[in-house]
């Protein structure tokens, strides 16, 4: 089979190798499509893990099942989560799935940008979902990123009638606004890039630059990019007693000066939201046809052109790049 290997943030190549051999409790999924995640564009983050095969926004078809597997059959279309919790530890009981030791250790092999993906039992018994016929491959591939937005909105406890500001109008920023709307909020969005504002205006009415919101205050501000200035802006635009959602990390060794007294006396709540758990995935699948995240796909590439896909994904006029995993040929 063919798979992509990321050797550094600016070096991703195709390699040829054997199809993974599954054990009696594993399943093998033939990948159909996989989106390029914004997290895979964080240079410092991917360089820490390199070399590896990226890709975790996956829809595929069950190609083979281990002899002891009862919950899946060959030919079923599925969404694959790349991590899954044990569901029985203290963290899982409290719903803090991403802190579960099993969640942190579990992984698919080799990754979504591969023709075949081995999914171990600890993942497929908890967080591999069968896809209803009415859901397209494009939307199914985006269940996982949508689930991260679902988690963020749930952690912020966003309710009907609240005014929500989304900072950053990339793919995830738009998903955050869309989910907040579903939860009943009145949404606004800002960006410093005119290209992103222009794209967002195709989907949302109340989007623009910081000038457009001036001194307005919001019940909740969701900071999509891992950016110091965006975090400072969020604190400036959240109302007293409001909440700021930190949706992405900052690069290592990026200290940020915060006025703790301002946060204290204004009673601002900071809410980090990292990845998603099984509950979020199921909610995401249930609302996928209301959100239709495939609307935000701006570019498509074949696995053969994965390097080009990553270059395109970095451009401000790009929202989402979808990679079609089929008939790949290694480029030597």
Q: CATH 3.90.180.10 occupies which residues in the chain?
A: 2-147+276-324
Mean pLDDT in residue range 148-177? 98
Cα-Cα-Cα-Cα dihedral of 130, 112, 180, 124, to 10°? Answer: 40
Q: Which CATH number fits domain 157-272: 3.40.50.300, 3.40.50.20, 3.90.1300.10, 3.40.50.720?
A: 3.40.50.720
Which residue from 48, 60, 50 is spatially nearest to 1, judged by alpha carbons?
Answer: 60
Which residue from 173, 79, 77 is spatially nearest to 126, judged by alpha carbons?
Answer: 79
What tokens were used for 122? 């600890």
> Which architecture does CATH list for 2-147+276-324?
Alpha-Beta Complex (3.90)
Q: What confidence category does residue 289 fall into, taking pLDDT thresholds of 50, 70 and 90?
A: very high
Q: Are 142 and 87 in contact (CB under 8 A)?
A: no
Beta-carbon contacts of 77 under 8 Å, excluding residues fewer than 6 positions away, are 32, 59, 60, 61, 62, 130, 131, 137, 140
Mean pLDDT in residue range 47-63? 97
Q: CATH 3.40.50.720 occupies which residues in the chain?
A: 157-272
What's the whole-model pTM score?
0.96
Mean pLDDT in residue range 257-285? 97
Q: What is the DSSP letter of 37?
A: P
């Amino acid at each position: 089979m063919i798979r992509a290997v990321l050797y550094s943030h600016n070096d991703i190549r195709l390699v040829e190798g054997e199809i993974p051999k599954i054990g009696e409790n594993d399943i093998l999924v033939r990948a159909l499509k996989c989106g390029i995640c914004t997290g895979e564009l964080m240079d410092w983050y991917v360089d820490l893990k390199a070399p590896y095969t990226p890709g975790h926004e996956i829809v595929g078809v069950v190609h083979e099942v281990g002899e002891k597997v009862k919950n899946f059959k060959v030919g079923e279309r599925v969404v694959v989560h790349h991590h899954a919790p044990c569901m029985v530890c203290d963290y899982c009981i409290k719903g803090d799935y991403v802190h579960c030791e099993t969640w942190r250790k579990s992984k698919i092999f080799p990754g979504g940008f591969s023709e075949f993906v081995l999914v171990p039992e600890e993942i497929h018994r908890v967080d591999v979902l069968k896809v209803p016929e009415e859901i397209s491959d494009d939307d199914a591939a985006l269940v996982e990123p949508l689930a991260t937005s679902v988690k963020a909105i749930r952690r912020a406890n966003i309710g009907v009638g609240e005014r929500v500001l989304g900072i950053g109008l990339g793919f995830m920023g738009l998903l955050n606004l869309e989910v907040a709307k579903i939860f009943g909020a009145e949404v606004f969005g800002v960006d410093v890039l005119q290209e992103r504002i222009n794209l967002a205006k195709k989907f949302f009415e109340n989007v623009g630059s910081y000038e457009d919101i001036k001194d307005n205050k919001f019940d909740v501000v969701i900071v999509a990019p891992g950016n110091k200035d965006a975090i400072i802006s969020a604190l400036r635009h959240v109302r007293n007693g409001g909440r700021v959602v930190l949706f992405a990390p900052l690069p290592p060794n990026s200290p940020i000066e915060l006025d703790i007294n301002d946060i204290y006396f204004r009673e601002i709540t900071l809410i980090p939201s990292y990845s998603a758990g099984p509950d979020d995935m199921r909610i995401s699948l249930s609302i996928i046809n209301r959100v239709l995240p495939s609307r935000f796909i701006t570019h498509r590439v074949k696995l053969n052109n994965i390097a080009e896909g990553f270059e395109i994904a970095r451009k401000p006029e790009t929202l989402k790049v979808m990679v079609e995993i089929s008939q790949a040929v290694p480029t030597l």
